[in-house]
A and B are shown apart, each in its own frame.
Chain A
């Protein structure tokens, strides 16, 4: 009886292990295959950025495969799909920005069945916001990531820095998308205050990060960021 149970256990192991190995192998291959199936001109540039994202731990193969396959299956111009992917790739590789929010917005737009034009515009605006917020944290000597350590800055581990940048940029983007005026710096600041406080209350973000941001970033800086992004979009 014991032998039978042992044999059954071994049989189960033999069935499970190869499945896991296969899954781990096919994921990275699928990224390339999915990208090639889109038939884009900038495949090499995009793939290179994706690989950088994998190395930095900013991207997971599963989320990239999901994004590419959803884009491939979506009705729309190939050029628009390419622009969306290039915006994400350049934000990741050239500007060294976190792109989780951008990927999430593309997925949401596809699920909502909105036009690729609308998705393209949103991704572009949010990429600009991410860069502006990252620069704001650098120039105000608040935080920097462990990758780009600066003097007199609090050096944060990359995931913690990315999360902070993403949350602030997302708050500004939501404010902008709600149609309110970027000139009301105090209201923008209030939105950021509420978001960071909620994250702190739920222990998702450390209190010291929130305190520093709320103390050193002024409403005027947020107005300037939103105005910059708006003027970039108008050009």
Chain B
């Protein structure tokens, strides 16, 4: 008695499943014949997308797959755009160089990376208390407008400013603090000892 009920239940469930997926079979025979005879109408991208979204509604797994694929496409597109478009590339390189500067400041004792965004500048130098305010030239090898130099300094407190085409620029975003001097500004960075205190 129980087996009969179970068999009926299974049969009903299978029928329901088959009826749910019946739309896949609709016109399948015609499609196969058309493909074999080379008469299958080409689907447009809109139709493909519509069908894809229709399928997404039916299956959560497919939905997640499509989201993943879209994310990957956008990621590659982002990388492509950042490499091709100068403005975006500039933004990325400023961030990248500033990241490097932060790392250099925090981890490499005595190493200070000076970064100055100055697109179109002819010369960029850093002057400071670390060398009696004599200019040390920054370089922009990749011509992206971001000038930099790396200085090895003993532990201490250093005041400095950038000189861009002869004009003083004393407010470096990477500075620890700023002070007024001779009516202008100086940036200040601290270089710490690795371990032993004085």
Contact = CB atoms under 8 A, between A and B. Distances in A.
B46 interface: no
A95 interface: no
A122 B182 CA distance: 8
B190 A199 contact: yes
Contact of A206 (B134, B155, B197): B197
A202 interface: yes
Interface SS of chain A: helix, strand, loop or mixed? helix
Interface stretch (A111-119, A138-146, A224-232): A111-119
A55 B176 CA distance: 35
B27 to A, nearest CB: 76
A204 B198 contact: yes
Interface string A59-80: 0000100110000000000000
Contacts of A205: 198
B197 A63 contact: no
Interface stretch (A42-50, A101-109, A211-219): A101-109
Interface of A: 63, 66-67, 104-105, 107-112, 114, 118, 122, 160, 167, 174, 177-179, 194, 198-199, 201-207
Given A66-B132, A111-B127, A111-B134, A202 B193 contact: yes
Contacts of B195: 203
Interface centre among A66, A67, A179, A194 (most CB of B within 10 A): A66
B190 A204 contact: yes
B133 interface: yes
A198 B132 contact: no
A178 B190 contact: no
B197 to A, nearest CB: 5
B129 to A, nearest CB: 5
Interface in B177-198: 177, 179-184, 186, 190-193, 195-198
Contacts of B78: none
Given A66-B132, A111-B134, A174 B193 contact: no
A67 B177 CA distance: 27
A175 to B, nearest CB: 9
Nearest to A179: B180
Interface string B34-48: 000000000000000
A198 B198 contact: no
B192 A178 contact: no
A29 B153 CA distance: 28
Interface in B70-100: none
B155 A177 contact: no
A21 to B, nearest CB: 25
Contacts of B129: 104, 108
A118 B182 contact: yes
Contact of B155 (A67, A203, A207): A203
A109 B132 contact: no
B169 interface: no
